[in-house]
Homo-oligomer: A and B are copies of this chain.
Amino acid sequence: MKPRKLRFGVLGVGRIGKIHIENLVNRIPGAEVAALSDVAAAELEAVATRFGIERTFGDYRGLLDLPEVDAVAICSPTNLHYQMIVDAAARGKQIFCEKPIDLSIEKVQAAIEEVGRRGVQMMVGFNRRFDPNFLKVRETIAGGLVGQPHVLRITSRDPAPPPEPYIRASGGLFLDMTIHDFDMARYLMGSEVTEVYARAAVLVDPVFATAGDWDTAVITLTFENGAYAVIDNSRKAVYGYDQRVEMFGSEGMVTVTNNTPDTHILCDGVGIHTALPLNFFLERYAESYLREMRAFVDAVENRTPVPVGGGDGLKAALMALAARKSALENRPVKLAEIYQGVTPACPVS
């Protein structure tokens, strides 16, 4: 007998929602999408039609009431995440939630506790862990090929700033953009961060200053294992999406270059020219979005722990808040200053 597929309800059919829907519908044989919800009715219907999904709901609670829905993918704006998590957990749904869980540490913590109480799993969408490049770096480190980690370097630059309304609602550079790098740093280092020092500036566009935000940052992380990481961010790299990491250790170094649309090399009378990086996250991380959702489906089906849990979301958010405080006060800030509570167990893999 053919095994029953895992049935998803997707909450939010915007840019990131569509990615997950397409992957669930077309690329993950063990899953299917049973229902969608969104407050934007026209877009909701368009997406439902495109992917042949019958059930749609303007109010996500209707979707959650469907008994045939096993799991939800929460792809709504950040400020809705918390309530959706709580409601989904109350109905026993397995939860995949986009990052960040919430801009407030208290709500993140509460969401984690609620999920734990209800006995469901919650995976957080740090998709980059599933990117083939970074995965290979992680495996190389975990395999001992660079020895003891000493210095991690992460460069993460967007091709262009987001629109102003996005900036204002984003929670700021550290919670919106660097949070991926904070998670990556923990993931690659295999150790927890104890202290953050951040320098930030507005060098790209004054709109960031008027929004009380920054567009450029360099951050130093200190880890429990004695190693350091340096992260540098920019909201605008004219040459495209720049996503590199490099781990240096006692026995070697592993790094990755950017991905490109092709491998051509043109030599002319002026120089040697190659392709720019893939422009932005939809192209660059297409594979990682697919792999993370597969990992969630596998974990739910096999009743194994999800590879990226609520505790990971909490840790990254703490680092972001520490970085903001550090940048504002120009001094190193310990994570313990931000949060004294007991963080849930989420051993770095």
- A residues near B, CB below 8 A? 2, 26-27, 29, 49-50, 132-133, 135-137, 140, 145-148, 150-151, 153, 155, 157, 197, 199, 201, 203-204, 216, 218, 220, 222, 226-228, 230, 232, 234, 236-239, 242, 248, 250-259, 261-276, 330-332
Name, among A50, A148, A216, the residue most crowded by chain B CB atoms within 10 Å (CB to CB): A216
Are A265 and B276 closer than 8 Å at their CB atoms? no
Are B157 and A248 closer than 8 Å at their CB atoms? yes
Residues of B within 8 A of A2 (CB): 49
Residues A136 and B269 in contact in the complex (CB < 8 Å), given A220-B197, A254-B264, A332-B331: no
Known contacts A203-B250, A230-B232, A271-B273; 14 additional CB pairs below 8 A are A26-B26, A29-B50, A133-B262, A136-B261, A150-B203, A151-B216, A201-B228, A220-B220, A230-B230, A238-B252, A255-B265, A257-B265, A272-B275, A274-B274
Of chain B, the residue at the smallest CB distance from A231 is: B230
Of chain B, the residue at the smallest CB distance from A244 is: B263
Residues of B within 8 A of A256 (CB): 262-265
Q: List 29 A-B pairs, Cβ < 8 Å.
A: A133-B262, A136-B275, A137-B264, A140-B264, A145-B266, A146-B266, A146-B268, A150-B204, A197-B199, A197-B332, A201-B226, A203-B226, A203-B227, A203-B250, A204-B250, A218-B230, A230-B232, A234-B248, A237-B253, A238-B252, A239-B269, A239-B271, A253-B266, A255-B265, A256-B263, A259-B263, A270-B276, A271-B276, A273-B273
CA distance A234 to B146 in the complex (A): 14
CA distance A275 to B133 in the complex (A): 10
Name, among A201, A227, A230, A264, the residue most crowded by chain B CB atoms within 10 Å (CB to CB): A264
Residues A238 and B263 in contact in the complex (CB < 8 Å), given A153-B153, A153-B232, A197-B197: no
| Min distance, Cβ A5 to any Cβ of chain B, angstroms | 12
Q: How many copies make up the complex?
A: 4
Residues of B within 8 A of A264 (CB): 133, 136-137, 140, 254-256
CA distance A3 to B290 in the complex (A): 29
Are A133 and B263 closer than 8 Å at their CB atoms? yes
Residues of B within 8 A of A49 (CB): 2
Are A269 and B251 closer than 8 Å at their CB atoms? yes
Contact of A271 among B218, B234, B274, B330 (CB under 8 A): B274
CA distance A58 to B262 in the complex (A): 41
Of chain B, the residue at the smallest CB distance from A258 is: B263
Are B274 and A272 closer than 8 Å at their CB atoms? yes
